[in-house]
């Protein structure tokens, strides 16, 4: 049919059109390639700089490949006990925090998705308000302090485990993908709500568990502000706070020295910056392409409006 239509158009205009479209296509692909380069190159640069001599990096001799390949930055970085400890802390916070968040948010999402929940309107309101209003910094700080949670492991995983946004996403998911007849059938078979939730709902909602779990995990992995205001004990600090000392405060973890040793230490600290970025970001960057499917799904579920 398309051929038929094409034949009916005057020949000249058809050629003009296709030329215009071909130019259009060329510019689309051109822009896309430039964008890919603009994103990939800075990331690649960080990686090659971490393996290069700091003087070459600073003088602009490093462009596409490491110059004077060495691992000094990594070696010095990994010698720091603080890095290992904070890395370990971050992993624990991420695992425990994600599990708590799932245990708290998923059941709430399911309960809110049920149309026979008595007082659903008011309860939904209770869960929507925190998305727009909050107590703010100081009142929250005072509450955490009064609960005696300052400088404890729990402050990192418990108080902010509820995410109303994720609850709403879970609710939308359950509403759109769990057929209501399933619950009706289970009821006839004498299955109660709680048992139904654990034996039917959870196995059927792996997608939303994955999405919310991954989002929460990335959030916790990357977070630092709560740690900064609620933790003063160095042994509890997460990785991002140590990165803050290295990258932002420009603090040398290697101590102070004088003379020629000082400049050597300074350049070593520069290398450690690149190494620290790579070491802290690598896990997410490596996992991400494989998990991309789930992340995207989450955006889709979240975009369904009710």
User: How is residue 198 annotated by DSSP?
Assistant: I
**Residues 182-191: contacts with CB within 8 Å, 24+ apart?**
183/114
**Smallest gap, in angstroms, from Cβ of residue 50 to other proteins?**
11
Nearer to other proteins, 136 or 203 (CB): 136
φ and ψ of 117, to 5 deg: -70, 120
Closest distance of CB 229 from other proteins, Å: 6
Task: List helix spans (H) across 114-163.
Answer: 120-128, 137-146
Of the pair 257, 285, the CB lying nearest other proteins is at 285
Nearer to other proteins, 78 or 162 (CB): 162
* Helix residue ranges per DSSP H, the chain: 2-8, 11-50, 54-58, 72-79, 81-113, 120-128, 137-146, 164-177, 180-188, 193-196, 202-204, 206-222, 225-230, 239-243, 260-303
Q: Of the two residues 39 and 182, which places its CB atom closer to other proteins in the complex?
A: 39
What is the enclosing helix (H) or strand (E) of 290? helix 260-303
CB of 74 to other proteins, least distance (A): 16
In the complex, least distance from residue 136 CB atom to other proteins, rounded to whole angstroms: 3
Which residue number, 58 or 182, has a Cβ lying nearer to other proteins?
58
Work out how close the CB of 71 gets to other proteins at its nearest, in angstroms, rounded to a whole number.
19
The answer to whether 179 touches 201, Cβ cutoff 8 Å, is no
Nearer to other proteins among residue 40 and residue 182 (C-beta) = 40
Cα atoms in the Cβ-side hemisphere of radius 13 Å centred on 245: 17
Alpha-carbon span 150 to 131, nearest angstrom: 25
Minimum CB distance to other proteins, residue 271 (Å): 12
Q: What does the angle CA 66 – CA 70 – CA 73 come to, to the nearest 5 degrees?
A: 105
């Amino acid at each position: 049919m398309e051929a038929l239509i094409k034949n009916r158009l005057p020949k000249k205009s058809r050629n003009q059109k296709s030329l215009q479209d071909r130019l259009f296509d060329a510019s689309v692909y051109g822009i896309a390639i430039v964008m890919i380069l603009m994103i990939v190159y800075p990331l690649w640069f960080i990686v090659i700089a971490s393996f290069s001599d700091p003087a070459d990096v600073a003088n602009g001799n490093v462009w596409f490949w490491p110059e004077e390949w060495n691992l000094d930055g990594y070696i010095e970085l990994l010698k720091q006990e603080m890095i290992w400890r904070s890395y370990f802390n971050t992993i624990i916070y991420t695992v425990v925090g994600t599990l708590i968040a799932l245990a708290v948010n998923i059941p709430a999402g399911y309960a809110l998705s049920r149309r026979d929940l008595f007082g659903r309107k008011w309860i939904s309101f209770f869960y929507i308000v925190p998305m727009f209003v909050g107590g703010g910094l100081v009142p929250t700080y005072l509450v955490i302090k009064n609960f005696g949670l300052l400088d404890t492991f729990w402050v990192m995983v418990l108080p902010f485990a509820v995410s109303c946004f994720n609850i709403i996403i879970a609710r939308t998911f359950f509403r759109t993908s769990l057929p209501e007849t399933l619950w009706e059938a289970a009821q006839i078979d004498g299955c109660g709500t709680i048992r139904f939730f654990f034996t039917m709902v959870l196995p059927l909602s792996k997608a939303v568990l994955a999405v919310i779990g991954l989002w929460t995990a990335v959030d916790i992995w990357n977070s630092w502000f709560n740690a900064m205001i609620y933790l003063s004990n160095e042994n509890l600090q997460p990785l991002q706070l140590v990165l803050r000392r290295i990258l932002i405060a420009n603090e040398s973890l290697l101590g102070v020295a004088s003379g020629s040793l000082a400049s050597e230490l300074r350049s070593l600290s520069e290398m450690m910056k690149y190494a620290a970025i790579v070491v802290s970001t690598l896990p997410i960057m490596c996992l991400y392409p494989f998990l991309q499917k789930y992340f995207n799904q989450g955006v889709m579920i979240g975009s369904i409006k009710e």
